[in-house]
Amino acid sequence: MANLFDYVKKYGNESFLEKSFNDIDNLVFSSLSYLDFSKTEINKTSCTLEYIGKEYLSKNDFKDVKKLGIAMKDAYQLLEILVTKKRYQEVLLSDYEYKTNRDTQFCALTFQISNNLKYICFEGTDEQISGWKEDLKLASTFPVPAHIEAVRYVNEHVSFFGPDIILGGHSKGGNLALVAGMYMKFYKSGKVKKIYSNDGPGLRMKEFSSKQYQRIKKKYIHIVPNSSVVGMLLKSDKYQVVKSSKQNIFGHAMSTWQIEDDKLVPSELSYKSKRLENNVHALLELYSDEEKAEVTDYLFGVMEQADIKETFDLLNLKKLLKMKKNLKKVDTKAKMIAREFLFMIAV
């Protein structure tokens, strides 16, 4: 079965006039948001994807980039193909921002696909455990600093008289796209035609029940793999489930999502994903926001003590046993949440 790389190779010589923007193009641009363009010309002016792509590839070695995680590796290899394809070469990249500190990590950029359409993308989290902590923090805190940055970004870069807008992102980036669409200035919100969350977390019940969510609900496209973990966190009421070639947490990578021709291959949520959604949501209702934050800090503290830094560390039996031993010190409800989390992500 094909993936997004195959799609780009097959349709890369068809312009967006010949073949309209679709769900797979959304995955392509979401993937590129993981690359660090801070040392390219994009910080000075808007540039074509071909120009910026070749500049990035000339300054960054694949051996170094792939050490940063699956999302970075996939994005680099995808970019190598995109710079040779007519469909993407003339897309303009602009307004790149990257900010990071102890409290948050935020990255966004804009792709101008045509005179009438822009795709604004927010970077998500990779398989680093610190990224999973950011995702779980969304259960206890709203807004997080990255939410505020995302809303500011769209307010600054969406014009009432400008082109139509599509918002999107992968993982945490999908949640940022959703929140930005919900809370951007009302008079500009009509320019947003679609909001993509590619296996991103949902919302807390308060925000899910808000008028802001109801206002953008019809524009919202939540794509999750059949063995979704991140996409099951928090509340969501609509999924487009895609078949992944990988199971458990490894299906989070968009490169594993299966494509037939120019469509995502539909599937159904796995038993594990349904269990995670139902059980974790029920357990979280037992906690106040303060308690949720404490449980998240403790859970990831236990992971750090067991030297679990990446998803692949969860394949290490010695580290898993050490984590299990440390979990004995935490209260019953926290143990239940931790067990559900591990049940889902462990292979």
Is the residue at 70 inside a domain?
yes
Is the same domain home to 61 and 106?
A: yes
Residues 153 and 215 both lie in one domain: yes
CA torsion 320→324→329→332, rounded to 10°? Answer: 130
Which of 198, 209, 231, 204 lies closest to 147, judged by CA?
204
94 & 139 share domain: yes
The total number of structural domains that make up the chain: 2
Angle between helices 332-345 and 271-284 (to 10 degrees): 160
Q: Which two tokens stand for residue 14?
A: 């068809």
Do residues 263 and 297 share a domain? no
Q: What is the pLDDT of residue 288?
A: 82
* Phi and psi, residue 324, nearest 5°: -60, -40
Is 42 inside any structural domain? yes
Query: Which of 243, 270, 297 marks a domain boundary?
Result: 270
CB contact at 8 A, 129 and 311: yes
Q: Is 232 exposed, middle or buried (0-12, 13-18, 19+ CB in 10 A)?
A: buried
The tokens describing 315, both together, are 């394949």
H/E run at residue 242: strand 240-242
- Does residue 277 lie within any of the structural domains? no
- Sheet (strand 117-122) strand order: 47-48, 92-100, 105-114, 117-122, 164-170, 192-198, 220-225, 240-242
Buried-state track 277-312, b at ≥16 Cβ within 10 A, e below 16: bebbbebbeebeeeebbbbbebbbebbeebebeebe
Domain boundary (221, 241, 270) is at 270
Q: CA-to-CA distance for 119 and 90, rounded, in angstroms?
A: 14
Same domain, 198 and 323: no
Separation CA 30–CA 174 (nearest Å): 9
CA distance 261 to 176: 29
Tell me the residue range of the domain where 334 lies: 286-345
**pLDDT number for residue 347:** 43
What integer pLDDT is reported at residue 228 of this predicted model?
92
Phi, then psi, of 281 in degrees rounded to 5? -60, -45
Same domain flag for 307 and 161: no
Task: Report which of 152, 159, 67, 70 is spatially closest to residue 112, judged by C-alpha positions.
Answer: 159
Per-residue model confidence (pLDDT) at position 131: 62
Are 185 and 325 within one domain? no
- The verdict on 207 and 314 lying in the same domain is no
* Burial class of residue 175 (count of CB atoms within 10 Å of its CB; 0-12, 13-18, 19+): buried
Alpha carbon 345 to chain centroid distance?
Answer: 17
Sorted by sequence, the CB contacts under 8 Å of residue 99 that are 6+ apart come out as: 105, 106, 107, 149
Q: Are residues 90 and 233 in the same domain?
A: yes
Closest alpha carbon to 176 in 120, 223, 115: 120
CA distance 236 to 180: 16
The answer to whether residue 279 is domain-embedded is no
- How far is it, in rounded angstroms, from Cα 304 to Cα 93? 37
Asked if residue 337 and residue 221 are part of one domain, the reply reads: no
Q: Please indicate, yes or no, whether residues 295 and 183 belong to a single structural domain of this protein.
A: no
Bridge-based pairing of strands 117-122 and 105-114 is: antiparallel
Q: Tell whether 48 is covered by a domain.
A: yes
Asked whether residue 280 is assigned to any structural domain, the reply reads no
Same domain, 178 and 52: yes
Q: What is the largest CA-CA distance in the chain?
A: 60
Of 270, 295, 319, the residue that ends a domain is 270
CATH number where 132 lies:
3.40.50
Going residue by residue through the chain (347 aa), what tens digit of pLDDT does each one get?
Answer: 799 999 999 999 999 999 999 999 999 999 999 999 988 888 777 899 999 999 999 999 998 888 888 899 999 999 999 999 999 999 999 999 998 775 677 899 999 999 999 999 999 875 556 666 777 778 888 998 899 999 999 999 999 999 999 999 999 999 999 999 999 999 999 999 999 999 999 999 899 999 999 999 999 999 999 999 889 888 888 899 999 999 877 898 999 999 999 999 999 999 888 888 887 777 677 778 887 777 777 777 777 777 766 666 666 667 766 766 666 666 666 666 666 656 555 54
Evaluate the omega torsion of the peptide bond into residue 266 and state whether it is cis, within 30 degrees of 0: no
> Per the structure block, which two tokens stand in for 265?
């291959």
pTM of the model: 0.89
Q: CA–CA separation, 99 vs 121, rounded Å?
A: 15
Domain presence at residue 281: no
Q: How big is the chain, counted in residues?
A: 347
Closest by CA to 338, choosing from 295, 305, 304, 306, is: 295
* pLDDT value at residue 66: 83
Asked whether residue 111 is domain-assigned, the answer is: yes
